[in-house]
């Protein structure tokens, strides 16, 4: 809204976001500090209930498939019965912490990690987590399941279909 030259108060934005969450158009994922083991009060991330709404609002010109894939993985984790949070490890972000009962899983999502720098960037936050819970890197790369120091790299489509894990 600011880019359109509109001055909007923070409580107005918060009210709009709450209305969108209550109407199940948006879902929110709170942030959780993995090392400090505490929920953070700021920095929620929002995900659309239907990625088709993104096309309606932005058209086909602004296609960011990486964010769309992240949105789809978030919705699938919810569908599978997980409580989902966005993780923080120091200054790095873990896309998802998925909790079900006493089980904890960590997920990074990337469109592709064939580039060595991208792979390194996506693995770094997971490598900083010192517990022994499962850690996954999901991408659309057509590669067999592999492991990077215990972090399973899985094709996101196979994960969505429940073929691997």
Residue 158 makes CB contacts below 8 A (sequence gap 6+) with: 164
The CATH number of residue 143's host domain is 3.40.1350
Residue 10 placed within a domain:
no
Q: Which two tokens stand for residue 158?
A: 């196979």
Chain centre distance of CA 134 = 16
Residue 1 placed within a domain:
no
> How confident is the model over 17-35, as pLDDT tens digits?
767 677 767 788 888 777 6
pLDDT at 143 (0 to 100) = 87
Give bridge partners of residue 89 from the DSSP assignment.
92
Residue 108 placed within a domain:
yes
Tell me which range, 3-12, 30-39, 104-113, is most confidently predicted by mean pLDDT: 104-113
Query: What DSSP character marks residue 4?
Result: G
Residue 23 placed within a domain:
no
Residue 5 placed within a domain:
no
For 47-113, the DSSP string reads: EES-THHHHHHH-STT--HHHHHHHHHHHHHHHTT-EEEEEEETTEEEEEEEEETTEEEEEEE-S--
Domain count, the chain: 1
Residue 137 placed within a domain:
yes
Residue 20 placed within a domain:
no
> Which residue range forms the structural domain that includes residue 103?
30-161
Q: How many CB atoms lie within 10 A of CB 112?
A: 15
Query: Distance between CA atoms of 86 and 83, rounded to whole angstroms?
Result: 10
> How confident is the model over 145-161, as pLDDT tens digits?
899 999 999 999 999 99
Minimal CA–CA distance to 109: which of 79, 150, 64?
64
> How confident is the model over 56-102, as pLDDT tens digits?
777 776 668 888 999 999 999 999 999 999 988 888 899 999 999 99
Residue 34 placed within a domain:
yes
The better pLDDT of the pair 9, 24 is held by 9
């Amino acid at each position: 809204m600011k880019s359109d030259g509109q001055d909007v108060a923070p409580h107005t934005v918060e009210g709009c976001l709450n209305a969108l969450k209550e109407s199940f158009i948006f879902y929110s994922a709170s942030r959780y500090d993995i090392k400090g083991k505490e929920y953070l009060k700021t920095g929620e991330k929002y995900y659309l209930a239907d990625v088709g709404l993104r096309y309606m609002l932005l058209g086909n010109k602004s296609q960011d498939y990486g964010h769309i894939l992240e949105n789809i993985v978030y919705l699938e984790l919810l569908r599978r019965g997980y409580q989902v949070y966005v993780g923080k490890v120091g200054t790095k972000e873990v896309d998802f912490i998925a909790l079900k009962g006493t089980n904890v899983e960590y997920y990074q999502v990337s469109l592709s990690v064939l580039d060595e720098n991208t792979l390194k960037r996506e693995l770094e936050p997971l490598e900083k987590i010192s517990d022994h819970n499962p850690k996954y890197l999901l991408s659309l790369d057509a590669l067999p399941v592999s492991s990077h120091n215990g972090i399973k790299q899985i094709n996101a489509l196979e994960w969505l279909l429940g073929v691997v894990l």
